[in-house]
Amino acid sequence: MLIVVPSYKRTACLRWVLASICRCDVSNIAERKQVVVVNNHPASREAVDHVIGEFADSSAIPCRALHRQETIAAVDSWFSAIAEFAVESEAVFLLGDDDLMLPWGLRDRHREIVENDGDMLLSDFASRIYFFDGGRKYWMSGSLPAEADQERRACRWDFLPAEHPEASFMSNHCYRNTASFRRGLELAFAWCDSQSWLARGIRTAMLPFYLPYTITLVGGKVLSLRSKCVLRGAYAEEAMRSAYADGGNTAFYNLCAHDIFANRALPLYTERLSRVCSAFRPAVIRGFLTMLFDRGIPLDVLARTFGHSGLKLTDLLSADVLRGVPRVAINLLGLRGARLRSMRRSIFLQQTERLFQ
């Protein structure tokens, strides 16, 4: 079992991510166990090594670091680490550097993907924990699941995204390093590379979402487990500075996905993908104004992506376009993160050490 923890600057909460892994129930997992922290920020090398060193003697799961010599596209960093460290048919988990593994998160997913001979498994998550003050405090916006839902078992994933856990959230992902997984990953990269006008980091950002489709198309088996196995997190200081949650304009990523699923020239394209494409259209239209006012998206890039996606200017005549006005106003007025800023000195913030008592 390999757990890959991609890390980029968030060393303040990395120790709590590793602590959550260490407290997981892995009693049913007989194969080898290893955590690899993939540091994609060369300047953080010493800090990452220091955090890993804190667990050298106390963790039953060995942990090591892979330090990038230069920052590369996030998805390239994740999956090249899997290729380097995973052995054949080994179960592989991704866990973000601000997300926490729930105590049953490894046990239940490992059981389901191995017993069902799956190539990929998507699980659910609880939301959300915010880390404050350099990871010393936290605030939880939702309730923490007290125990696993033992009645939940995996089912076969199909082409209806609304019926399954969120695929774009990387900490929901579990794989087995099989030939079908590797072929599906190769196909997903080929899909992303069809958007050659986009920077690599942008065109590959939705690759995790494409993976269940590509693995299925190459003949692999994808499973869906409606059980919350991860607590989704965020670094509060970073979230307060960001114009959008989780670092990117969701509407633009929806537009990129619409383009992919509308592109009939893609390898192994099937008509089932055209039905997935239609699910993205309303979200693109609702978020169009946020893309138009996003200084991080050059107008020529937006125009080319929009034109290539098969959408037409007449699609923007819908009144749904106006639903993006509040988000644009929030961004222009700098109001995003106001709630988190007000929480910074709140009596509701808890000391992070209490998380694992």
Which residue ranges make up each domain of the chain? 2-242, 245-335
Q: What token pair was written down for 143?
A: 């309730």
CATH of domain 2-242: 3.90.550.10
Residue 245's pLDDT band (cuts 50, 70, 90): low
pLDDT band at 256 (very low <50, low <70, confident <90, very high): very high
**pLDDT band at 220, cuts 50/70/90?**
very high
Specify whether the CB–CB gap between 130 and 240 falls below 8 A: no
- In this prediction the pTM is 0.94
Least confident of 94-98, 206-210, 240-244: 240-244
DSSP assignments along 226-263, one per residue: EEEEEEEEEEHHHHHH-SSGGGS-HHHHHHHHHHHHH-
Average pLDDT over residues 329-333: 81
DSSP 128: E
Classify each residue of 33-50 as buried b or exposed e, where b means 16 or more C-beta atoms within 10 Å of its C-beta. bbbbbbbbbeebeebbee
Peptide bond into 15 cis (omega under 30): no
pLDDT at 56: 81
Reported as a single tens digit per residue, the pLDDT across 174-201 is: 999 999 999 999 999 999 999 999 999 9
**Can you give the length of the chain in residues?**
357
